[in-house]
Structure 1
């Protein structure tokens, strides 16, 4: 029986790219695998046919020969391209399917072959939570912090080997960090048991770091906190994280800012709010009050006559500075008209007299009770 055209076997055109050929092979291989077709006696033969086609077309030189001479390119008469491989069908298949196995499962198994060649592993990033007060967030500050972390071992210079000697290439995996085992049609890849995936071994581990190339230690760092930071601001210090394993690059240190609540000011972005109590007399007659500002200064604010609770006045550019920018927010003064308590008999007498004389001076009360009367009248109707 004549062999089918390899392109027809895979279901691709003759001008198909390597990626298209591999994609078609993956689809056919999964579809026709004998383990998934126990009830189909033809599946195994077609499965081998697909692998033979892919073995020929995945290699650029073989593909070029096949495009020119067809199946005759592998019959031993065209320069010996196929002579040395005839009779090695299972080996050819394993080679072909191994490519797809790597493609499908390489990342799941821990990365591509050769991933263990880089013995130096990057250190972990670290997080440090820093609480500051609102005044420091306004002006910025230089802060010294203590960070527990891993630092390079000074005894072995981070190599992990006694005396700073260079580690040797792992004899089991030849520096790959992984070993492969042939199991029928499949090539199974596992982490090398000798070097645990590092790709190198240490004959005489450092007595101080026990071969890790780093030791635990507290470090003191000086951190510049810029003006304008707020809760949630993140500051990155590159290379100040955990030291890498066996001389690998260090991770980064991330400082997360938390600004504590203030007893006088409430913050909303760049703006500040300050609730100021005023007496009934001041709210009614008007006057001047003195209020604090976040920079430690004072500002005089004029209270208009007839001011009510909740009235706001703006002090421009008295808020928080913009983070790494120009300008500042504003400060808002919110009035809270305070009701006097613990009145003397004379004070109560004066207030009752004042109330009788001020029935027409309370516009909000007049409007409210007028609306209440209309509501009751409607309910009766």
Structure 2
């Protein structure tokens, strides 16, 4: 058999420690090693039992005196390590253990040490989700959309209790005696669980409400206006507080989450806060330069094309992009110009292009000849 440790050592106090110091030491140990905080941990379970046994002895003046005189042999029949046995023999144990349980569950333990009734505040409503498709322009510029959702809301007939006559139609739960929790003995300690019959309410319905069938909630269709902020992105989620399912007995409603999907635009694309588009220009404009009109989400804008612009050149229209969410800043519009090449030129086009081709070849020949002359001079 393992040798028991000194009780003062177990609690980490001196032999001259006061009762208040012993209580504080046990409270720390019990909170640290409690089985609910250390599930499936045999070592913590043993330390919890050991600390409880030490406190049972050192908190009782008579047992402490016997322990100080005779050691473990003087108290072995009284010290059990069971925190739920013999409360009448150990002064102050009930109040202390009630404090420890409150740290875990927010109320006193069940049975003789937890006779207070449950304070049931109703059940909060569930959150809901809604998938909303919007146009590209609505995502960039913002919009207001009206949607219809189906949800459950609190039954006004019974105030969400589910009972005929409301709160007066409720009766104390026979399973937990109104506490909302039941104790389950597991070895040397007891664990509390939410009462399976009343779900923690401490009360059950005597006669179900006819309107909601005892559920406390009734279905409804609700129109809701959704404000789409300017600059929202595809895949983002908006939250509307309190627009989810209703709570019962005055508990708050859940929230509504709007999942945004932005439809593709035939002309514009989005890169962060920047808007990207591709605009064709003629060969003549690319060579000679000129001005073109470019569509934006706020109307048309004029863009100057300098002479000798290559296909694929990118121009920037400042602050013509999407807003940054929650900011006055805006992105830009990036315009990619491409030289338009006709697929089926008419006879007039062909004649002009042939003339242009002849001129360009003569020019290229002269430039090429000049280049060869320079290379010849360089290597000679």
Q: Do the two structures share a fold, i.e. TM-score over 0.5? A: yes
Please tell me whether the aligned partners of residues 90 and 185 of structure 1 are also in contact (alpha carbons under 8 angstroms).
no
* Aligned match for 1:21, one of 26, 29, 42: 29
1:119 positional shift: 4.9
1:192 is aligned to 2:195: yes
Q: Does 1:214 align with 2:222?
A: no
Contact 2:239 2:255 in 1 (8 A): yes
Residue 71 (1) aligns with residue 71 (2): no
Structure 2: stretches of 5+ with no match in the other structure: 36-40, 69-74, 86-92, 111-115, 373-380
Tell me by how many angstroms 1:312 deviates.
Answer: 1.5
Q: How does 1:68-147 map to 2 (within 5 A)?
A: 71-72=64-65, 90=80, 92-95=82-85, 117-147=119-149
Equivalent pairs, count:
327
The yes-or-no answer on 1:248 pairing with 2:251 is: yes
Alignment of 1:31-70 (within 5 A): 31=43, 51-56=52-57, 62=59
Give the 3-state SS of the residue equivalent to 1:123 in structure 2. coil
Q: Contact 1:177 / 1:192 at 8 angstroms: preserved in 2?
A: yes
Cα distance, 1:361–1:263 mapped onto 2, change above 3 Å? farther
| 1:64-116 deviation digits (Å, cap 9, x = unpaired) | x66xx8812899xxxxxxxxx997655954458x969x87xx68xxx987896
Q: CA deviation at 1:294?
A: 0.1
Partner of 1:43: none
Shift of 1:319: 1.7
**Residue pair 1:212, 1:246 contacting (<8 A) in 2 also:** no
For the residues of structure 1 that align with 2:53 and 2:351, how far apart are their CA atoms?
110
Give the match for residue 377 of structure 2.
none
1:343, CA displacement in angstroms? Answer: 2.7
Structure 1 gap segments, 5+ residues each: 35-45, 76-84, 371-381
Query: Partners in 2 of 1:329 and 1:115 — Cα distance?
Result: 60
Give the 3 Å change call, closer, same or farther, for CA 11–157 of structure 1 in structure 2: closer
Give the conservation status (yes or no) of the 8 Å contact 2:120–2:200.
Answer: no
The 2-side partners of 1:307 and 1:158 are apart by 72
Secondary structure of 2:158 counterpart: coil
Corresponding residue of 1:157: 159
CA distance in 2, matches of 1:162, 1:217: 21
Name which of 175, 179, 183 aligns with 2:178: 175
1:231 maps onto 2:234 in alignment = yes
Which SS does the other structure have where 2:234 is aligned? coil
Contact 1:214 1:246 in 2 (8 A): no
Q: Deviations over 1:34-72 (max 9, x none)?
A: 9xxxxxxxxxxx997654213346xxxx3xx66xx8812
TM-score by length of 1: 0.71
140-149 or 8-17, which moves further after superposition?
Answer: 8-17
- 1:278 equivalent in alignment to 2:271: no
CA RMSD of aligned residues (A): 4.1
Helix, strand or coil at the partner of 1:162: coil
- Choose which of 175, 181, 206 in structure 2 pairs with 1:203: 206
Give how far 1:188 is off: 4.4
For the residues of structure 2 that align with 1:71 and 1:4, how far apart are their CA atoms?
15
CA deviation digits over 1:295-329, x for unaligned, max 9? Answer: 2x211212111111111122222222333321422
Question: Partners in 2 of 1:233 and 1:49 — Cα distance?
Answer: 54
The CA distance in 1 between the partners of 2:313 and 2:146, in whole Å, is 43
Instruction: Check whether the contact 1:12–1:21 (CA below 8 A) recurs between aligned residues.
Output: no
For 1:211-249, what per-residue CA distance to the aligned partner results, in whole angstroms no more than 9, with x for missing partners? 221112211112222222222333222111111144422
Q: Any conservation in 1 of the 2:117–2:180 contact (CA below 8 Å)?
A: yes
The answer as to whether partners of 2:109 and 2:192 remain within 8 angstroms in 1 is no
Q: Deviations over 1:184-221 (max 9, x none)?
A: 52324344343243321110111222222111221111
CA contact (8 A) 1:25 1:54 kept: no
Give the Å deviation of 1:151.
0.7
